[in-house]
Amino acid sequence: MCMPLILYASHFAFIEPEISEKNFVMPQHNAFYVTYHVKWNGKNGTCYLNLTNGNKVESTKQNTSNEENCSFLLENLYYLTTYTFLVFMTHHLQFLNTNFGHHCIYNYKAVLGFLGFLIFVTSLALLFVMYKIFALQRKRSRSVSALTTFSSCPENLLHVEPISADALVDTYRKKIADEGRLFMEEFQSIPRIFSNYTVKEAKKSENQSKNRYVDILPYDYNRVSLSNGGRHDYINASFIEGYKEPNKYIAAQGPKDETVEDFWRMVWEQKSSIIVMVTRCEEGNKNKCAQYWPSVERETEIFDDFVVKIKHEENCPDYIIRQLSLMNRKEKAAERDVTHIQFMSWPDHGVPGDPGLLLKLRRRVNSFKNIFSGPIVVHCSAGVGRTGTYIGIDAMIESLEAEGRMDIYGYVAKLRRQRCLMVQVESQYVLIHTALIEYNQFGETEISLMDFHSTVNTLKQREGNEPSLLELEYQKLPKFKNWRLSNLAATEENKKKNRSSIVPYDFNRVLVKLEEEEGHNSDAEDEEDYSSDEDDETSTKYINASYVNVWVSGDVVLTTWIRVLVLQEFCAQYWAEEKKVFGEMEVEVKETESTPTYIRRRLQIQSTKVKESVTSEQYHFLKWAGHELPANPLDLIDMMKSIRQNVGHGNSRDNISSPIVVHCNDGSSRSGIFCALWKLLDSADTERLVDIFQVAKGLRKERLGMFTSLVSLCEQYQFLYEALQAAFPVQNGEVKKAAASPDSNPNAATASPSPQEGTCESSCVPEKAPSETTTNGPTVTVEV
């Protein structure tokens, strides 16, 4: 409201002008309009107006109109401010002044409108912030719930107690009984996909081509996001929690050709230094993964912004280790080292027959870990089955070491909450249990060559009548009784073909095709599953022979070249100096080379029905008499070196490894030692590591009678340690390869028929070996 006008008048001796009307108007809340009607009583004068705010003169205005009306418009004043107006009227050097005060106000309607608008905008902003906070808290709580509790699906998940180390074997026996009913119930109770977690990013149209499989999609809440932003930050990969370690792993699908650059970007941004690849690029004529690293021949590959170089590649029996360097062309940072470990012994559908292979893989991976690197990238083809199994084994071993117990069921459920279908099939779920049994029962038995001699000396030490550590280790070897069938060898028709009670298992027996199918190649590589189905039994001939897993490290081995090793003196002679026919096979010795320790014969085998022939090299070892072991292990090792040197002779056509036929009196006692030593030498040469316990255990699993000699229960096992000591002696503190045995001097070789050829008998009395039951049992790979 306007304050009342205060008018003051000063009187002089002259006749004053008369003010008959005065008016004050506020056209705006910060403006004044002042008018006066003045009767001058003579000549018209001039009106002035001074506007003051306190002691400060704001403005001065004048009105020189000769009319009797004086008016002033004062604008753009301060709101809520009191102003004083002083009006002067001059007339013939005389003046009249009048002053008054007035207070400016606000336009309350405009203020209220503005305040309302401001409150509305502020409320919207506050609601948006509250929504974001709520969404973030919901995301975090959902993530925590996924990693800690399973209460969201109580109708599906079972209450399965963690398993203590002491109860692991008994729990396994209980669950594997009744055809694994409890294992099946547990596995099937875990949801394959937790539908309360969204997969919106993976389903966007621009991202669908980046998924290898339409049903294997990462959850939004824990997917790996690339820094590209916008529509280009997607990759089919998920962060996975380890044992009490967030984001220890990244589980990813095998890269596609169009996502290789994204894969390397993920590795770069996450600072990952280890990639575990649990697949081949092709399996069963199906593409499983793009080759996202350079070959040794090309050395360097460029994937958009990233340059990948291969520094070194090491081929080992079950995996390949590649040392790579990674450089981002958009960053000036130095190149980074990445270790790429590709596991080669895992079928796409199924599990490895020996869980010890995965424990070995885990040891290799952990040997390259460092505290400064990012998550370990693990991938197969889909990034769920084999990937989840490896992660589960690694995490549960850490739990076993830290707490003495493991919650396998709970952790697999936790994995499924982080990525769908992790541990994809029941056999993989069972494999986690068997791997933990293997680890808990046998521990670490691998020895580096640098520590080998000192370790062997420690193992051989004994106190009084107590067994040595080496003998205790041998006693831990499982016997694998009742775990596989040998029904075919036990038939009346085939019993007469067995030299002893040691017979092949049905699952890995060698198949010899019947006459009408002999045109079909029956090499080991064609019998991928070692099947013992009825169809195979009715279409093959029985022979007492087993496939065993012996890795041949040669780059080129021909299917037309078969190495036959004779490790005993008394057997039916299946060769002759001149051509000789055995049924439908004609055999001729083409060349003979003799050394003091072995004879090498080149045999040509011709089919009388099919005009095809193969060439075979036979190595006949001469330094193994009776039940005794070779006096000098180097004699046997030198013959092995000769075999390796001759790999690849002949007309090369294929890059397929053909099997080595090893036979002795029973196919197990001496043959087992040879196969074990062959594998150990390969491991020592390629990895500088040996694991005699695991090699012996693996051979026992594949054929009866391995390392069960009656001469000494531990003598054959100890011979392997002594042979490796001889093969890799210590010189000046360094492990060296042994020189050749004097008896195996190649200069002593001759090319004439050997006089020893007639020492083999046409028949002999079957020799008894320790009897092992052949009844059926659970097909597991650990002794429980």
Catalytic residues: 380, 664
- Residues 6+ positions from 183 with CB-CB distance below 8 Å: 175, 176, 426, 429, 430, 433
Closest CA to 545 of 429, 415, 410, 671: 671
- Give the start-end residues of each E strand in 465-538: 512-513
Burial of residue 341 (CB within 10 Å: 0-12, 13-18, 19+) is: buried
The token duo for 596 is 């003091």
- Phi, psi at residue 563, to the nearest 5°? -90, 130
- The amino acid at residue 506 is D
Closest CA to 289 of 425, 382, 351: 382
CA distance 176 to 185: 11
Contact indicator for 728, 684 with CB cutoff of 8 Å: yes
Q: What is the side-by-side strand order in the sheet with 46-53?
A: 56-63, 46-53, 82-91, 94-103
CA distance 772 to 29: 112
Bridge partners of residue 604, in order along the sequence = 588, 615
* N-to-C CA span, the chain: 100
In this structure, what token pair is assigned to residue 675? 């196969």
- Residue 240: name the closest of 375, 76, 362, 110 by CA: 375
| Residues 620 and 599 sit within 8 Å (Cβ to Cβ) | yes
Residue 292 class from Cβ within 10 Å (0-12 exposed, 13-18 middle, 19+ buried)? Answer: buried
CA dihedral in degrees (762, 766, 772, 773; nearest 10)? 90
Helix (H) or strand (E) holding 35: strand 31-39
Owner of token pair 């027996």? 509
Given a contact cutoff of 8 angstroms between Cβ atoms, the answer to whether 621 and 565 are in contact is: yes
The DSSP element (H or E) to which 411 belongs, if any, is: helix 408-418
Which two tokens mark 56? 């400060």
Q: What DSSP line would sit under 329-375, residue for residue?
A: TTS-SPPEEEEEEEE----SSS--S-THHHHHHHHHHHHT--TTS-P
User: Residue 36: enclosing H or E segment and its boundaries?
Assistant: strand 31-39
| Contact partners, residue 514, CB within 8 Å, separation at least 6 | 539, 540, 541
Residue 109 Cα distances to 162, 597, 666, angstroms: 71, 115, 109
The candidate with the shortest Cα–Cα distance to 503, out of 773, 762, 710, is 773
Residue labelled with tokens 């009306």:
69
What span, in angstroms and rounded, lies between the C-alpha atoms of 726 and 729? Answer: 6
